Structure 1
Amino acid sequence: MDITTLDAIDVHVHVEQDSHGCHSLDDELIDASASYFKASANRTPTLSHITDYYRSRSMAAVVFTVDATSATGHPALSSEEIADEAASHPGVLIPFGSVDPHAGQAAIRRARRLVTDHGVRGFKFHPSLQAFQPNDVRYYPLYEALAELGVPALFHTGQTGIGAGLPGGRGIKLRYSDPMLLDDVAADFPDLTIVMAHPSVPWQDAAISIATHKANVYIDLSGWSPKYFPPQLVRAANSFLRHKVLFGSDFPVLTPDRWMADFADLKIKDDVQPLILKENAARMLGLAAPEKNTEETREP
């Protein structure tokens, strides 16, 4: 991928429908999420639609689904199919895989195949939707495999629109997405790159502390319009975490067009904007050579 031709890299893009017309979630959860985000665009875009959308904007997209088969009973979309199709558009799509953490050794074997046979560049986890506590040592062999493979793990953190407004939130538990659970994982697997997705409300300060303390942890800015970002997140992104925050939209429920329009009003420093929009992601994904860390520091 020639990153010099790109204006931005969106590290958080959901594939919600495959080429057979199957959806990533059941209709009730899709409708609840769309209502939560007030999404008016196509709620279940195919990978072909995503490719055209991002190519027309000179952006690359990290694309993935979430395998929550055990927790939801809903069949997951095929990460293999997503990765194989993404290979036809290497200048636009960067495929991440997803495995069901409850599958144990089968998940580990599949993760290895996704990387070695299908070119997957990382993995997406959604602890609340997948119903697992990420710092439970039962899942450590999976993280060990990802660290050995040299690919990052992107974890949903904070509140989720999936199940929002439904009785009991459809049984989805927010506590699994507390970023402090990932502090254990980051400490125990220092060679594993971890991306904490979203402003981690109601645990934003915890996420900032973890990203500050752990060199292997990033924050992506997806899932919220920038005009609603917590002020402490904006301050951190503009200063001491300037090399640790990544542009992400949460397409299709939040589009890059809406995100970019609101981001322009944040008064992010001119020299920080290219870091957030592209350069940090390129380094995290191994698309660019590592740079000397010139982060600002602050008193603990």
Structure 2
Amino acid sequence: MDVAELVAIDVHTHAEVSRSGHTSLSPSLLGASADYFGAHGHRQPTIDEMAAYYRDRRMAAVVFTVDAEHATGHPRIANEEIAANCAEHPGVLIPFASIDPHKGRAGVREAHRLVAEHGVRGFKFHPSIQGFAPDDRLAYPLYQAIEELGAVALFHTGQTGIGARVRGGGGIRLKYSNPMLVDDVAVDFPDLRIILAHPSFPWQDEALAVATHKEHVYIDLSGWSPKYFPPQLVRYANSLLQDKVLFGSDYPVITPDRWLADFAGLDIKDTVRDKILLRNAARLLFGEETP
């Protein structure tokens, strides 16, 4: 990937549908998410369509699904399919995977295989949907594997639109997505590179504390329009965390076009703006320093 040719790297996009038409989550959960984001009726783009979208904008994008088979009973989209499809667009798409921590040793073996054979660069966790606390020792063998492989662990944090307003929240427990639960992970796996996804409502201060305190913990800005960012998040992004904040959209429910239009009106220093959109992600994902 030629980072010098890019204007931005979106570190948070979802593969919602497989080539066969299988969806990443049940229709009820996906529908609740679309309603929550005001994106009801949006098309679920294929990975090839995602590549065309980002290529037209001179952007790259991290792509992943969510494996929550244990908690939901809904089969995931195969990580291998996503990685293979991303490999067809090497200058645009960056494959991440998702492995349900409840899969134990089988999940550890899968992580090694996905990195070695499919070029996967990171792993997405959604504790609320997957039904586990990030500091639960059941996930530790998987974290150890990800750390040893030099890959990234991306954790959903804060409230989720998935299951919103569905009876009982669709069984999804918000407490598992408190970013403070990731602090133990950062302590016990000090070389593991971690992204806390989203402004972490209602735990924004906790996320800022963990990212400020732990060397390899980053924050992505996906899932919210920038005009709604909490003021303390903007303040830290402009100062103490300017090297650890990342552009993410949550595509397709929030498009980069909408996100970037609102970001343009945010009070962010010009030197920091480029870090957030491109340079921080290039360093984290590829070890590249852009001029």
Letter in 2 for 1:240: L
Structure 2 equivalent of residue 259 of structure 1: 259
Aligned residues of 1:41 and 1:253 also touching (Cα < 8 A): no
Aligned residues of 2:11 and 2:281 also touching (Cα < 8 A): yes
**Deviation of residue 290 (structure 1)?**
9.6
Letter in 2 for 1:96: F
Name the CA distance, whole Å, in 2 between partners of 1:266 and 1:251.
Answer: 20
Alignment of 1:109-188 (within 5 A): 109-188=109-188
CA displacement 1:101-155 (0-9 Å, x = unmatched): 1000000000110000111011000000000111011211111111000001000
Structure 2 equivalent of residue 294 of structure 1: none
Structure 1 equivalent of residue 286 of structure 2: 286
**Deviation of residue 250 (structure 1)?**
0.2
Percent of paired sites with the same residue: 64
**Deviation of residue 42 (structure 1)?**
3.0
Structure 2 residue runs without a partner (length 5+) = none
Structure 1 residue runs without a partner (length 5+) = 292-300
Does 2:103 match 1:79?
no
Letter in 2 for 1:271: T
Does 2:273 match 1:273?
yes
Name the CA distance, whole Å, in 1 between partners of 2:163 and 2:59.
Answer: 30
Structure 2 equivalent of residue 60 of structure 1: 60
How big is the alpha-carbon RMSD for the aligned residues of Structure 1 and Structure 2? Answer: 1.2
Aligned residues of 2:10 and 2:59 also touching (Cα < 8 A): yes
- With over 3 angstroms needed to count, the CA separation of the structure-2 counterparts of 1:197 and 1:171, relative to structure 1, is same
Aligned residues of 1:34 and 1:43 also touching (Cα < 8 A): no
> Helix, strand or coil for the counterpart of 2:199?
coil
Calculate the TM-score normalised by the size of structure 2.
0.98
Does 2:248 match 1:248?
yes
Calculate the TM-score normalised by the size of structure 1.
0.95
CA displacement 1:170-215 (0-9 Å, x = unmatched): 1100000000000000011011000000000000000001000001
Name the CA distance, whole Å, in 2 between partners of 1:235 and 1:75.
Answer: 41
Aligned residues of 2:218 and 2:244 also touching (Cα < 8 A): yes
Of 102-111 and 41-50, deviating more is: 41-50
Structure 2 equivalent of residue 295 of structure 1: none
Structure 1 equivalent of residue 94 of structure 2: 94
Name the CA distance, whole Å, in 2 between partners of 1:252 and 1:290.
Answer: 27
